[in-house]
Amino acid sequence: MHTDLPTIHQHPLAYLVGLEGVALMRAFAGEHDRAFVEARLADVRALLDAAEGLGPGHDVPPIDTREGYRHWAPRYDAGPNGFWGMEEPLVRPLLERAEPGVVIDAACGTGRHTGWLVEQGHEVLAFDTSRDMLEIARAKVPGARFAEADLHDLPVPDASADLVVVTLALSHVRDLGPVFAEVARVLRPGGHLVVSDTRGYYIGSPLYPLVEGADGEFGYIPNWRHATSEYLQAALPVGLAPRFCREYAGGGADDADGGRDFTAAAHDGTGGFDPASDLELADPSRPPNVWEMMPWVEAAARSAYAGAPVLIVWDFERE
């Protein structure tokens, strides 16, 4: 348990009104017209009038990653994960540049990248702190070697790896410095560190994965959103030089330079909803699901999230 972290309060109305507020701030800065502003204010009035059915909200305590992924592991691969579909086409071209060699898949999870790395001809050492995730990964990828280990203490000799991969995991790390120092220790000169990380999906704040325990109680796995400068402050002093960096927003269209631009452009529609039929949670006993609620305030959601980065991808070289 993270005893120094707070129990968070998640209220459906707070999220919905918050989206409207961000959209109104963007309109105030000149991104939308009068009709858009009037429609958003009308939405806020309707939300407040219809809020009683959304309940009082939920207090959600923090749980550590080992406990959280123990509950999450059995269904981790079961449903669609939007981040995977965004991240893999961005990361794998960077990984394809590496000649077959020794690769460390740190925080490997259920082996999403591990199996692909084995198929590329690499000798893959895969580590994670979650025994439950590793158990699934071992069954999926017999060609890799797995062990329980933390990003801060990888059980390999100095200068023994050609490539280290850390994908969608550094958001669980409060201080990047010790992790980058450990990666620099295990990389050979000329070796690379490829990183992907989330940028938060709550308008600049971390995305807290919610996990339901066997007792039906919920907890959140703490995440930290690192400023771009924090990666550099951690990497440069230990001899990791950036060779590639890009942030990606939410959306789907290919962009002109062959990368992926996930920008979901805001539209100028007036949106609106019917409070009598739309403001009803599928399961009010659970903490609110943002994906369920976004369609209720679609115009505000599109405006609030338009252009907001959701992923950052790095390639560092060990000098």
Question: Three-state SS string across 113-172, please?
Answer: CHHHHHHCCCEEEEEECCHHHHHHHHHHCCCCEEEECECCECCCCCCCEEEEEEECCHHH
| pLDDT of 263 strictly over 50 | no
HSE (CB half, 13 Å, CA atoms) of 306? 18
- Positive or negative torsion for Cα 261, 33, 38, 44: positive
Whole-number Å distance between alpha carbons of 225 and 203: 11
pLDDT digits (tens, 9 = 90+) for 118-129: 999 999 999 999
pLDDT of amino acid 266: 35
Using pLDDT thresholds of 50, 70 and 90, give the confidence band for residue 270.
very low
Whole-number Å distance between alpha carbons of 249 and 312: 9
pLDDT of amino acid 221: 86
Rounded to two decimals, what is the model's pTM?
0.87
Q: Is 242 left (phi over 0), alpha (psi -120 to 50) or beta?
A: beta
pLDDT digits (tens, 9 = 90+) for 224-238: 989 999 999 999 999
Which residue type does 244 have?
Answer: F
Task: Kindly state which CATH superfamily the domain 65-200+207-248+309-318 is placed in.
Answer: Vaccinia Virus protein VP39 (3.40.50.150)
HSE (CB half, 13 Å, CA atoms) of 63? 18
Name the residue ranges covered by the structural domains of the chain: 12-54+261-305, 65-200+207-248+309-318
**260 near 248, Cβ under 8 Å?**
yes
Q: When comparing pLDDT for 219 and 203, which is higher? A: 219
pLDDT digits (tens, 9 = 90+) for 146-198: 999 999 999 999 999 999 999 999 999 999 999 999 999 999 999 999 999 98
Which residue, chain included where needed, has tokens 């369920």?
292
Whole-number Å distance between alpha carbons of 208 and 195: 20
